[in-house]
Amino acid sequence: MSEVDYRAAYLAASAEATRLRAEVEALRAELAAHQRTIPALPTDDGGTPIEWGPWEQAPTPVSHIPVDCDQCAHPGPPLLALGRAGGVIRYQAVRCPACQQMRVCRRDHIGLRVHLTEIAYHPPQGGMRA
Ligand SMILES: [Zn+2]
């Protein structure tokens, strides 16, 4: 390779690096915007700390989780996170992947039934996207 070839290769590589840096910045901004739209889960319920698992697509059908969103036209399934208190699943959070409406409930077992008490609610966010 001549000196001119090295210089051309160097310029091409640095142009590629600049392009990649811009791409990474754009992706970071997109990720930050996406994370801002996800409502925060409560860290405790009246002093009882809640340990949340990851958001996952809710299995369907599940009797005590509504499938479609009552705020937007999203057909579901919603996203589900389970919260543990003292190692036992005691809480559930259900979130619409489109409008981000979120309900957080405590599950109380009364006999064979699961009774849900809402402890937190986040209204749907504007600019609905499917
Ligand atoms: Zn929705």
Q: For tokens 């889960």, what's the residue?
A: 41
| pLDDT 10s digits, 83-109 | 999 999 999 999 998 899 999 999 998
Report how far ligand 1's centroid is from the alpha carbon of 83 (Å): 21
Those residues whose beta carbon sits under 5 angstroms from the ion ligand 1 are 69, 71-72, 74, 96, 98-99
What pLDDT score does 12 carry? 92
Mean pLDDT of the chain: 87
Report how far ligand 1's centroid is from the alpha carbon of 41 (Å): 17
pTM of the model: 0.66
Q: If DSSP codes are grouped into helix, strand and coil, which group holds residue 88?
A: strand
Per domain, the residue ranges of the chain are: 1-37, 40-122
What is the DSSP secondary structure assignment for residue 123, as one 8-state letter? P
Q: Percentage of the chain surpassing pLDDT 90?
A: 56
Kindly indicate the confidence band of residue 48, based on its pLDDT and cuts at 50, 70 and 90: very high
pLDDT above 90: residue 29 = no
Report how far ligand 1's centroid is from the alpha carbon of 106 (Å): 21
Say how far apart CA 71 and CA 76 lie, in whole Å.
Answer: 12
Question: Count of H helices and E strands in the chain?
Answer: 1, 8
Decide if 81 contacts 97 (C-beta within 8 A): no
- What is the largest distance, in Å, between two alpha-carbon atoms of the chain? 83
